[in-house]
Amino acid sequence: MLDPCEDSITGLRARYRSGEVSVHEVVARHLDRIEALDGTLNAVVTLNPHALSEAAALDASRSEVGPLHGIPVVVKDNIATAGIATAVGSVALCKHVPDTDATVVTVLRRSGAIILGKTAMPDFAVSWHGHSSRSGYTRNPYDVSRDPGGSSSGTAAAVAANLAAAGIGTDTGGSIRVPASFCGLVGIRPTVGAVSRHGIVSLVREQDTPGPLARSVADAAALLDVMTAWDPHDPSTAGPAHARRGSAAAALVPGALSSARIGVVRALCATGPADDPAVADVIEQALAAMRARGAELVDIDLPGLGALLRGTFHYPRQSRRDINRSLALAGTAIRDVADIVASGQFLPALALLPVIAAGPEDPSTDPGHGAAWELRTRLQHVVAAAFAEHRLSALAYPTVRIAAPRWANVDNGVFEDGALDTWTSDESTFPTNTLIAAQAAFPAITLPAGQTSGGLPVGLELLGLPHDDTRLIALAFDTERALPPRPIPGLVLSSINRETTS
């Protein structure tokens, strides 16, 4: 019998209907998995003390509560959960317990999902890596000497290691897609406003969006369908709710690639000094697989992309205000991130956080703030022009141009973390491609493209135009069918072998 921890959302729902397993049994099994593996992973920071009683209540209901009935889910630590600590990865806020759920948690619970617990993240989501003052280091289940990526680090590590069926992260610059790439998962950055941000601590309000991380496109789509809705507490949801083009689940049919023109941004696939040629090789194989399923690949250029990304990097000017507004709405004891930095209650390796704390309380006082938002419009036009000129369905490129780095390299300052006195906004040393969708506020999805010879996952990102989320999901679903199956992480295999021999 398939272990419930290995099963898909569709598989679990079928087993509930048949009576093969109960929700209580499945939740208990996942909690056992957390107890067995999370001492090594350090992915889950706070458990829901009522998870088993909530599971028993679902079993007693004798009917499906909703489309995620009995599905065990983990939630990032910047998303409010009533009665469960929500610290945004910060040791300074570790005692903050919200009175109410974020909207996205409310809709998950209403759909029948069981919130198992909260997951690790870097302080205020300001890192590409999975370390924080609250919880220390989170490990990658494919190789525990390596980083799972950030900032949705704990969610990705937990879902990859089968500690939950799926999870919720947030994405401002790539915080869903980077850890999904490193941990062999599907991660969706929806159109901004498709999913409510109410109850979530912000970083750059115009870029922030929650989204799902899952082990398959179908599972990610199941979560996104539940999460996507208008919310009067977040006015930005009105436009996407009106523009929504069908459900994500309806897009899960073969054949989307056969009529697709995919723009391959070759400059983002090239191997530079900081990039990994093994990743480029995996991406080329994935692109060939897409072509074999009927996609027409078109090499394209995005003129001036580097300068546009540098010019639309809003964190130093805006994030202090957006974080502080979120803290005030959440009712935390500390209301200014600058006070946290001044007290030293943050991970010193997070070099961007002091820069944010030194930023203006009101960005409108910064003469460069308006110009940066004008550049955002130009970035959007450059990307959209490529779609119009080449009649594209999506752009494609590696999510990150390296596989998961070793923690030793992160600690030694190979990337921006660990280089507190040398941080610069001119150019990140971290070779990610996720900033394009983030800073243009466009939707994107990453899916596992394959593995390096060392067994490390590689992510392929597909970027679409606003409100084209369902088309991206259709393309990702068809691409997934053409790519190698996701391998079981080494940490999970070791656990299975121990259980088999015991």
Active site residue 175: yes
Q: For residue 12, give Cα distances in angstroms to 19, 23, 25, 55.
A: 11, 9, 11, 14
Ordered alpha helix ranges (H), 228-368: 238-243, 277-292, 305-311, 315-330, 337-343, 352-357
Q: Which residue in the list 111, 127, 133, 175 is annotated as catalytic?
A: 175
Whether a cis peptide bond, with omega within 30° of 0, leads into 151 is yes
What is d(CA 176, CA 156) in angstroms, rounded to the nearest whole number?
Answer: 8
User: What values do phi and psi take at 143, rounded to 5?
Assistant: -165, 105
Q: For residue 181, give Cα distances in angstroms to 34, 206, 284.
A: 22, 24, 16
3-state secondary structure of 237: helix
What DSSP string describes 116-175?
EEEE---GGG--SSSEETTTEE--BTTBTTB---SSSHHHHHHHHTTSSSEEEEEESSST
Q: Which residue in the list 8, 76, 111, 495 is annotated as catalytic?
A: 76
Q: Which residue in the list 90, 133, 151, 196 is annotated as catalytic?
A: 151
What is d(CA 243, CA 259) in angstroms, rounded to the nearest whole number?
Answer: 23
Ordered alpha helix ranges (H), 314-448: 315-330, 337-343, 352-357, 369-390, 407-411, 435-440
Active site residue 118: no
Q: For residue 127, give Cα distances in angstroms to 152, 203, 209, 289, 353.
A: 10, 11, 16, 33, 9
Nearest alpha-carbon partner for 446 in 429, 464, 428? 464
Tokens of 207: 């870029």
Active site residue 151: yes
What is d(CA 338, CA 103) in angstroms, rounded to the nearest whole number?
Answer: 27
- If you search the block for the tokens 């729902």, which residue do you land on? 13
Q: What are the catalytic residues?
A: 76, 151, 175
